[in-house]
Amino acid sequence: MREVAIIGIGQTPVDEHWDKSLRELAGEAVLAAMSDAGRDRAEGLFVGNMLSGVTSKQENLGALIADWVGLLGVEAVKVEAACGSGAAAVRAAIIAVSSNEMDCAIAVGIEKMTEGIMVETTSALASAADADFEADQGLSFVAINALVMRRYLHVYKWKHTDFANFSINAHANAIHNPFARLHEPITVDEYNKARMIAAPINLLDASPIGDGAAAIVIVPTEHLRVLSQPIITIAGSASATDTLAVHSRKDPLWLSAAEKSAKKAYSQAQVKPEDIDIFELHDAFSIMSALSLEACGFVDRGQGPRLAIENEISPVGRIPITTLGGLKARGHPVGATGVYQIVEVAVQLRGKAGETQVPDAHIGMAQNIGGSGATIITHILKSKQ
Amino acid sequence: MREVAIIGIGQTPVDEHWDKSLRELAGEAVLAAMSDAGRDRAEGLFVGNMLSGVTSKQENLGALIADWVGLLGVEAVKVEAACGSGAAAVRAAIIAVSSNEMDCAIAVGIEKMTEGIMVETTSALASAADADFEADQGLSFVAINALVMRRYLHVYKWKHTDFANFSINAHANAIHNPFARLHEPITVDEYNKARMIAAPINLLDASPIGDGAAAIVIVPTEHLRVLSQPIITIAGSASATDTLAVHSRKDPLWLSAAEKSAKKAYSQAQVKPEDIDIFELHDAFSIMSALSLEACGFVDRGQGPRLAIENEISPVGRIPITTLGGLKARGHPVGATGVYQIVEVAVQLRGKAGETQVPDAHIGMAQNIGGSGATIITHILKSKQ
């Protein structure tokens, strides 16, 4: 298999885009990525999306978006892994190019969530969990994560406020990101007093839904000559799964699929956790930040909140996370999120992250999660000057 | 890229499976395929499904089914291309193995459609078409195909009854297939007098929905030693798209994505249409049989019905189609159909098709369509003794 690189990135702001249809929103990101790459053709389009069948009564997004962006006729499909759909589409595009199946592929993540009424969206999001054994018991997706957080607080003896800096850091980093949904800083006091959603998860533990699209253009590295900016190569790409229902796991506080996919990606990229300069993790809820950092080897089991408390997660910390806002403040348009994460790592590796640029960033990791830890996809990117 | 082969196949009857959940039905097909292959492990699972988010309120089928069939932890995702989802999942599995990304992958197509009330299913199926410019105008999926058939009758001067043998042949072939949904032969008279659904498409032009699952196991051919039955290799695999809305096409009576993907598959397999011994085509409606035969080069443009009238489509005809019932009589559980087609071609190439066995079948083609010709995926299989 040949090495591949990201030569173009594009994204729309995460927002309520009531004035744009599904294809218009996706098209905006794809065309931006193609323009950034200086290409007007591609041989394949892989669409990451979770909810369009429910929220827009539209499936078959591959053909829909390919036609819209001027790629009529190319191979195009949708890839779905709940909130992990974005990275799943990226991975499909990577395999298609690295296998010689095609020489240029585009991955786009797209989700439009704000047009439905809230109860529909909450119900639709529950389809990421086990419909027969979780959702049917009345558990919404946030409720499942609340059970996990409650158990974590009990087992490892942390207080809820110990998670505050995960959200504070994300909000602080989003302020200067024009593509982020939220641009307001928050304080510990605000975090502690935020409205309860599903105890112990409050409003400032939870990422906001939104409409958005992000896209990347992938080609073989061997086709690239010297460019004006660093080449961003895919050094690692791996996917693993766990039980869909959290109660079926031996340890509901351990993301075994995160550990498995991260270890495989580390091995492919020949790096260790301490080599990672940025980690765009899947902070759908603050508890997930702690669990992800632990499973990927950045901190001992049960010690995730320590990194937040000691502020090792800021852009100048030991392991910078959510450097452009993360799911918490950039926003979480579910099927698009995994592509946003990879776009943001690429922005950092290009040195274009502005106020929240991580100094000397050469190796970045993005990890996208579908369901409460059921499908976890890890990518490691490296910059080559 | 290395050549890959199908070493295991499995399927459930297409029926109303109210007593089986989504995972149980999919599991039945996957476990049958693994048993047929003599394997109890695989490295990846690719799920073809269109409607589970709407009909079962369940997404994230990759992780769900992987766990259920004893493949906890493996890479697993859903691939969607409307009614072409099954072949899209097969193609993802083929690329994953042929690229050396993994050594054994399973593709499973699964759809449960009969639990919803009919209006929901019709509405859900409309998401295969263009939601903004077709479905929003009140066009159901059958109505779109009816417009195509009406225009075909007008332009090429055929009568509705000229399509009768597409349905009669499919029903006749399904009688001995234990996995088929319908086992009743039909007559020309019954065809002509069948209840109208969306003129000129009547009940016997249209394939029935159903619940069902089919699966295949894929490995590199180089890993195979001499087996007790012929090795079925993937000689061609290609996917192409067209506009989602039929009215956007220069010629609404020409399946350009079928032509494109078939030509690419012919070239990969180094065969011509006259070399194909069986063609499992996508006869969701009888008009689609005619259009597919034309676009793939088996008959001149506008002459599709001639093959039916002259009965060149029977198991002993020039180009046998729907040899085990096709979508019309085996049934059309949409996201599963593409895998059923490939399983059936494999059954024929193994010489195990019983009463409808095509004599001396060595090269078979399967073509799966998502939307009214929007996403078309063609596979060519060869048997090697």
Per residue in A329-352, pLDDT tens?
999 999 999 999 999 999 999 999
State mean pLDDT over A112-123.
Answer: 79
- What is the distance in angstroms between the Cα of A94 and the nearest Cα belonging to chain B? 11
Of B1, B66, B77, the CB nearest to A79: B77
User: Which one-letter amino acid corresponds to residue A360?
Assistant: D
Query: If you average pLDDT over residues A79-103, what whole number do you get?
Result: 97
Q: What CA–CA distances, in Å, run from B192 to A86, A121, B170, B196, B305? A: 48, 46, 16, 10, 15
Check CB contact under 8 Å for B67 and A132.
Answer: no
pLDDT of A385 reads 67
Whether residue A325 is predicted with pLDDT greater than 70 in this model: the reply is yes
- Cβ of A59 within 8 Å of Cβ of B80? The answer is yes
Q: How far is CA B34 from CA B28, B31, B215, B217, in A?
A: 10, 5, 9, 7
- The pLDDT assigned to A119 comes to 56
Give the integer Cα–Cα distance in Å for B94 and B102. 10
Cβ proximity of B39 and B102 under 8 Å: no
CB pairs under 8 A between A and B: 206
- Amino acid occupying residue A354: G
Residue of A218, A210, A258 whose CA lies nearest to A104: A218
From residue B45, give the alpha-carbon distance in Å to each of A76, B48, B72, B184, B234.
19, 10, 10, 35, 18
Q: Is A83 a catalytic residue?
A: yes
Q: Which residues of A touch B124 (CB under 8 A)?
A: 53
ipTM surpassing 0.90: yes
CB contact under 8 A, A79 and B79: yes
DSSP H helix total and E strand total for chain A: 13, 11
Q: Which helix or strand (DSSP H or E) is residue B238 part of?
A: strand B231-241
Task: Taking the CA atoms of A382, B2, B8 and B10 in sequence, report the sign of the dihedral they define.
Answer: positive
Residue with tokens 């408390």: A309
Averaged pLDDT score across all residues of chain A: 96
| Chain B residues in contact with A21 (beta carbon < 8 A) | 132
pLDDT value for B33: 98
Confidence label for A120 from pLDDT (cuts 50, 70 and 90): confident
Name the token pair of B97: 């193995």
Q: Which residues 6+ apart lie within 8 Å of B174 measured at CB? A: B180, B181, B182, B183, B324, B325, B326, B328, B329, B330
**pLDDT tier, A226 (very low <50, low <70, confident <90, very high otherwise):** low
Compute the average pLDDT of residues A250-255: 97
Q: Do A374 and B77 touch (CB under 8 A)?
A: no
Asked whether the predicted pLDDT for residue A118 surpasses 60, the reply is no
Identify the band that residue A173 occupies on the pLDDT scale cut at 50, 70 and 90.
Answer: very high
CA distance A91 to chain B (A): 11
pTM for this predicted structure: 0.98
Contacts of A109 in chain B (CB under 8 A): none
Answer whether B67 sits within 8 Å of A92, measured CB to CB.
no
Q: Which amino acid is at B21?
A: S
Q: Is B104 a catalytic residue?
A: no
Q: What are phi and psi for residue A357, nearest 5 degrees?
A: -60, 130
From first to last of the 385 residues of chain B, give the pLDDT tens digit. Answer: 899 999 999 999 999 999 999 999 999 999 999 999 999 999 999 999 999 999 999 999 999 999 999 999 999 999 999 999 999 999 999 999 999 999 999 999 999 999 866 558 888 999 999 999 999 999 999 999 999 999 999 999 999 999 999 999 999 999 999 999 999 999 999 999 999 999 999 999 999 999 999 999 999 998 887 666 789 999 999 999 999 999 999 999 999 999 999 999 999 999 999 999 999 999 999 999 999 999 999 999 999 999 999 999 999 999 999 999 999 999 999 999 999 999 999 999 999 999 999 999 999 999 999 999 999 999 999 998 6
Phi, psi of A31 (to 5 degrees): -65, -35
| B80 contacts in chain A (CB < 8 Å) | 59-61, 77-80
Q: What is the pLDDT of residues A124-166, one digit of tens each?
A: 999 999 999 999 999 999 999 999 999 999 999 999 999 999 9
Asked if residues B168 and B191 have their Cβ atoms less than 8 Å apart, the reply is yes
Q: What is the pLDDT of residue A22?
A: 96
Pairing of strands B75-80, A75-80: antiparallel
Does a cis peptide bond (omega within 30 degrees of 0) precede residue B185? no
Mutate to test the interface with B, among A241, A249, A264, A334 (most CBs of B within 10 A): A241
- Pick the range with the lowest mean pLDDT from A76-85, A220-229, B185-194, B308-317: A220-229
In this prediction, residue B268 carries a pLDDT of: 98
pLDDT at A227: 64
Instruction: Inspect the interface and report whether the beta carbons of B242 and A73 lie closer than 8 Å.
Output: yes
Hey, are the CB atoms on A241 and B21 less than 8 Å from each other? no
Q: Say which of A22, A80, A101 has its CB closest to residue B59.
A: A80
Percentage of chain A lying above the pLDDT 90 cut: 94
